Structure 1
Amino acid sequence: MRFFIAALFLYVLLSSTAAYDPLDPNGNITIKWDIMSWTPDGYVAVVTMNNFQMFRHIMSPGWTLGWTWAKKEVIWTMVGSQTTEQGDCSKFKGNIPHCCKKTPTVVDLLPGVPYNQQFSNCCKGGVLAAWGQDPVASVSAFQVSVGQAGTTNKTVKLPKNFTLLGPGPGYTCGPAKIVPSTNFLTPDRRRKTQALMTWNVTCTYSQFLARKHPSCCVSFSSFYNETITSCPSCACGCENKHKCIKPESKLLSVVGVNTPRKDNTPLLQCTHHMCPVRVHWHVKVNYKDYWRAKIAITNFNYRLNYTQWTLVVQHPNLNNVTQVFSFDYKPLVPYGSINDTGMFYGMKFYNDLLMEAGQFGNVQSEVLLQKDKDTFTFKEGWAFPRKVYFNGEECMLPPPESYPFLPNSAPQSRAFLTTFIFCVAFVFLTMM
């Protein structure tokens, strides 16, 4: 009995903390349901999905939203989205509902649908940008007409058991909660209107629930040491190592090899780490008042392009970023005062697309940082990141003891001594 209670406590503890991200403590996806008007047997509502996660976005094939109706509701019509199944609507004659399922599943429409099927912030193929990267593109919305639902605030019952997939597992949604009604501006922006009823659902992401292995790893190198610290072996799991493809394999010339699968099964290049993505951090140059690091991101998945990718790095010297070359950069301050975290992402229409594995499957940049005289050092691996995230997933770092440390005899002292001896010898020879 004691073991059962302890196991239950541990499960609850893990479930409650797994979704908490210390670098994005307030990150979530909020689904807002606004009833705009009543109909003879229900209501018309606008459903808005806001991605408030700073650096985690939903990429193609996009989000999938589901719930369970509280009563016997049906969906008469939808604008800006559609359900994946209609369900059994045999009891209806004449006017057939869009969906009669007790548990409907809704997906976004693809870009380019006819104008009469579009709604504001719809039709992006379910792709949602991270709020910290592109707030305008972090919103998705659709309109739904619900029947057999009640026609007053007292008779309408909130849906239950909300689920969000985006495009895989990992999101956990809380219960719907009634909140103060949303205010809207009329199209001429001269008058405010108010929703008749509003409820919110908050969904949070957990990498622990999404997958049992990391999806990226980190390697290190430096100008002061010939050692290259590789990603840990089997950093992303080696269960599928027998299915990987070598770069010179003839299979890569087969038509359709780069086409993504519906279940998102990767086709990985054979590596010792077996990760879809590797991030390499190279300490490149040491100046008097500055130092420079090079960042390279490599895609080892032959079936996936990473659109609107993000890279988050935690490092104590990111409070003094001077210049970032060929990436966009935004500091993240998760605790309001400690400025040690930043987000790198691709420039629009230039390198915001990380191509599938192969010749063009990498992007790279350099960052110039000003030295903080009180804390700066190259000793004990200080110049390397503390945490690295790619597309919102925490990457596996090498063990600290393997970092490229400074040589035992500091090269600065040896160089100074050599220069001093040379100068003394030069002066002595000129005096002879």
Structure 2
Amino acid sequence: MSVRIPMFSCSGMRGEIINTMRGAYTHKRDPSECLNSKAGQYYKDLDFSQVMNCQKKPAISDLPPERKDDNVTGKLPYCCKNGTILPPIMDPWKARSMFQLQVFKLPPDLNKTALCPPQYKCGPPVRIDPSSFPDSSGLPAITYAIASWQVVCNITKPKAQASRCCDTDTCNAERNPLLLPPDALLVPFENRTLQAKAWAKQNHMPIPKELPCPDNCGVSINWHVNTDYRDGWTARLTIFNWRDFAFEDWFVAVDMDKAGPGYENVYSFNSTRVPPNNRTVMFQGLPGLNYLVGQVNGTNPLRDPAVPGKQQSVISFTKKNIHGLNIPGGDGFPTKLFFNGEECALPKHFPKKSSGHRRGISVLMSLVFAVAVAFALMMD
């Protein structure tokens, strides 16, 4: 997750620069911008090759967890979560993130105690007591910030976005997704077209001349209804990470509507119900197993497709005191689903029962936007 914030200033952009940062980094680092700015003229003896950023509106991202113990960029409380923070109901300590900036000011704003907070879009900053940090020298001493602010940000419904397809000249972004066979789940997006066409032909479904576009998802989530019996039912949740980096402390929030109060247990994840109606359940990895690894090469990189990182668990539900549930008709599938706070795109129709099961059902909800799973997180 990236945040875009303005620089610290009291009356407009005055050319301040970020010299160093802990817990985060700027996306662009160009010493030439600094040398040709007011800062370059004022700080003539400063080594700008070591300066973090001189932009007026830099894009700043949280550091990944593996940098939290770095002596230069880490060693900061609550830092380095790769942009993923958990809801307070799951873990209050992991529900906050922090980064620190060392800012060089320019005339006329040279008064070190006359600091003004940045104007965050997510909420007004509130002045709080200066934060304390372990001394960087390693001695048992405490260093205090000159000034600290607290900003509260809440997740809001994202605005409708245009198609993220790479090349709409070869696909149609308005086409409905095509169904995928189960064995295509472990096939990279770019290699799924043949499976989608073969599955459509086998099941007598139309294949448009111009296929739907891929959604360029980095994470896909499969919801598989395993069983449906008189007193309850079970599902299996599988998360696939197609990125080349890992997600630590990931979480999935599933809204099950009227079937939600029947949630009983999850067997390979931790879970947290969301009060007061308990229709939404949040899942996260167990301690020591909360790392959703990234994509890796196949056994033979020249022949085998890449393999996504994967975690899965079976989830059990009861039907007691819940009347009129139709599990295969739609009640057994989430009405909303979130990965790390981002709302996922859901299929618009449900698959049918598998004819090979008499006592229960086995359905696989996996759709494809040409070459990508639809039940997936939209990420930049």
Query: Could you tell me the TM-score, scaled by structure 2's length?
Result: 0.56
Could you tell me how far 1:246 is from its partner in structure 2? 1.8
What SS class does the counterpart of residue 80 from structure 2 fall into?
A: coil
Aligned to 1:139: 97
Q: Which amino acid aligns with 2:316?
A: L
Larger radius of gyration: 1
Return 67-76 or 385-394, whichever deviates more: 67-76
Match of 1:151 among 94, 111, 114: 111
Classify 1:156/1:387 alpha carbon distance in 2 versus 1 (closer, same or farther; 3 Å). Answer: closer
For residues 208-267 of structure 1, give each alpha carbon's deviation from its aligned partner in whole angstroms, at most 9, with x where no partner exists: 44843599xxxxxxxxxxxxxxxx5169xxxxxxx9632699xxxxxxxxxxxxxxxxxx
Match of 1:389 among 338, 344, 352: 338
Could you tell me how far 1:328 is from its partner in structure 2? 2.1
1:281 aligns with 2:223: yes
- Partners of 1:209 and 1:411 lie apart in 2 by 43
Moved over 6 A (4+): 193-196
For residues 110-148 of structure 1, give each alpha carbon's deviation from its aligned partner in whole angstroms, at most 9, with x where no partner exists: 617763554423763844333355543442221424434
1:311 aligns with 2:252: yes
Equivalences for residues 54-73 of structure 1 within 5 A: 58=1, 63=2, 65-68=4-7, 69=9, 70=12, 72=14
CA contact (8 A) 1:73 1:102 kept: yes
Classify 1:320/1:185 alpha carbon distance in 2 versus 1 (closer, same or farther; 3 Å). Answer: farther
- Partners of 2:333 and 2:280 lie apart in 1 by 13
Classify 1:344/1:71 alpha carbon distance in 2 versus 1 (closer, same or farther; 3 Å). Answer: closer
Equivalences for residues 43-54 of structure 1 within 5 A: none
Aligned to 1:93: 44
Q: Which amino acid aligns with 2:227?
A: V
Q: Which has the higher strand share?
A: 1
CA contact (8 A) 1:381 1:403 kept: no
Aligned to 2:177: 233
Return 128-137 or 313-322, whichever deviates more: 128-137
- Partners of 2:348 and 2:15 lie apart in 1 by 55
Match of 2:321 among 365, 368, 373: 373
1:296 aligns with 2:243: no
CA contact (8 A) 2:74 2:80 kept: no
Q: Which amino acid aligns with 1:139?
A: S
CA contact (8 A) 1:279 1:295 kept: yes
CA contact (8 A) 2:292 2:309 kept: no
CA contact (8 A) 1:381 1:405 kept: no
What SS class does the counterpart of residue 139 from structure 1 fall into?
A: coil
Gaps of 5+ in 2: 135-142, 166-175, 180-187, 195-210, 296-304, 361-380
1:78 aligns with 2:78: no
Could you tell me how far 1:203 is from its partner in structure 2? 4.8
For residues 138-196 of structure 1, give each alpha carbon's deviation from its aligned partner in whole angstroms, at most 9, with x where no partner exists: 4222142443435377x544444x5xxxxxxxxxx24754x343365798xxxxx9977
1:352 aligns with 2:352: no
For residues 253-286 of structure 1, give each alpha carbon's deviation from its aligned partner in whole angstroms, at most 9, with x where no partner exists: xxxxxxxxxxxxxxxxxx9784534433333224
Could you tell me how far 1:339 is from its partner in structure 2? 1.0
Query: Could you tell me the TM-score, scaled by structure 1's length?
Result: 0.51
Aligned to 1:30: none
- Partners of 1:287 and 1:104 lie apart in 2 by 55
- Partners of 2:278 and 2:290 lie apart in 1 by 26
Could you tell me how far 1:325 is from its partner in structure 2? 1.5
CA contact (8 A) 2:259 2:279 kept: yes
CA contact (8 A) 2:225 2:236 kept: yes
CA contact (8 A) 2:76 2:133 kept: no
CA contact (8 A) 1:176 1:199 kept: no
Could you tell me how far 1:314 is from its partner in structure 2? 0.9
- The CA RMSD measured in Å over matched residues stands at 4.7
Identity %: 21
1:342 aligns with 2:285: no
